């Protein structure tokens, strides 16, 4: 079956903005969207997890405020789950045509969801382990089903090759990220470090199977470009920074089909 080119009824875009982690920061999200749309407008947004799908009044207010911004621009936002999301509520949310419509312009793409834009197949793979889970409370602001499950991996692989992957976590084997983490990363307890490595291994399994030409991810709060070399293929890797950095580090622009990225100006 050919992947759909329309998601939740929104038409196929000719350009998209891609954003790293937002962590429910509504003012930042509005600023970043305004900045992008003032610079070079796009037809849709893709957000790479730690979006800010949280319980409580604050989480709902964030979604409502963001919906107003998106409605004003007529702009759909397609996002994948990070590790800091309200996982049980997201798992229980109704699925319509393979996706979850959180607000009219805010659509969650579950792990393994595929679609096609301008002849390129895209694949969503959200989820990651939290390295700060010892500082969180289970069932309040941390949930164990944040990780990429074996079923997620199987479903992502089952559709065959993909051109573009959007992930929260990065695959194993990206030397540029590994070098940065060796200098800037924090020392982790052995069990947390093992979980983090497992999360990247899950992404790597999918990348090795579907062999995308490009992969975009968040999670590490670091803007970089690198590559991952597989068996007979190479994947260009782009990591994006988070809210509170700069729009240039947190967002980029893609014309479709994807050939190159367009950087935004620094704030």
Rounded Cα distance, 169 and 48, in Å: 9
Q: Which residue has the tokens 């610079």?
A: 39
Q: What is the pLDDT of residue 185?
A: 80
| pTM for this entry | 0.95
Q: What is the pLDDT of residue 212?
A: 98
Q: Which DSSP string corresponds to the chain?
A: -PPBS-BTTBPPPSEEEEE---TT-HHHHHHHHHHHHHHS--SEEEE-S-----SHHHHHHHHHHHHHHHHHHT--EEE---SSS-HHHHHHS--BTTBEEEETTEEE--TT-EEEETTEEEEEE-----TTGGGS-BTTTB-GGGSPPHHHHHHHHHT---SEEEESSPPS--HHHHHHHHHHPPP--HHHHHHHHHHHHHHHHHHHHH--SEEEE-SS---EEEEEE-SS-EEEEEE---TTS-HHHHEEEEESS-S-EEEPPP-
Q: What is the pLDDT of residue 3?
A: 81
Cα 265 off chain centre by: 21
pLDDT in tens, the chain (267 residues): 568 788 999 999 999 999 999 999 999 999 999 999 998 999 999 999 999 999 999 999 999 999 999 999 999 999 999 998 998 999 999 999 999 999 999 999 999 999 999 999 999 999 998 877 677 777 677 777 889 999 999 999 999 999 999 999 999 999 999 999 988 887 778 878 888 889 999 999 999 999 999 999 999 999 999 999 999 999 999 999 999 999 999 999 999 999 878 787 666
Fold of 15-255: Purple Acid Phosphatase; chain A, domain 2 (3.60.21)
Q: What is the pLDDT of residue 144?
A: 75
């Amino acid at each position: 079956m050919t992947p759909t080119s329309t998601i939740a009824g929104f038409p196929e875009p000719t350009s998209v903005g891609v954003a790293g982690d937002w962590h429910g920061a509504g003012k930042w999200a509005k600023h970043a969207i305004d900045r992008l749309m003032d610079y070079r407008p796009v037809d849709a947004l893709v957000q790479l997890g730690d979006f800010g799908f949280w319980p409580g009044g604050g989480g709902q207010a964030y979604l409502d405020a963001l919906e107003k911004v998106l409605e004003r621009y007529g702009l759909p936002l397609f996002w994948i789950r990070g590790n800091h999301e309200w996982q049980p509520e997201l798992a229980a949310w109704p699925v319509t045509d393979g996706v979850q419509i959180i607000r009219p312009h805010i659509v969650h793409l579950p792990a393994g969801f595929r679609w096609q834009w301008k002849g390129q197949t895209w694949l969503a793979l959200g989820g990651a382990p939290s390295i700060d889970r010892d500082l969180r409370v289970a069932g309040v602001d941390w949930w164990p089903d944040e990780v990429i499950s074996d079923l997620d991996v199987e479903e992502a692989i089952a559709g065959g090759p993909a051109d573009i992957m959007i992930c929260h976590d990065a695959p194993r084997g990206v030397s540029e990220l590994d070098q940065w983490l060796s200098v800037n990363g924090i020392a982790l307890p052995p069990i947390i470090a093992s979980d983090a490595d497992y999360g990247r291994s899950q992404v790597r399994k999918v990348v090795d199977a579907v062999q995308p030409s490009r992969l975009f991810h968040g999670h590490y709060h670091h803007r970089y470009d690198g590559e991952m070399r597989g068996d007979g293929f190479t994947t260009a890797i782009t990591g994006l920074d988070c809210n509170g950095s700069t729009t240039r580090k947190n967002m980029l622009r893609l014309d479709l089909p994807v050939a190159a990225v367009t950087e935004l100006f620094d704030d």
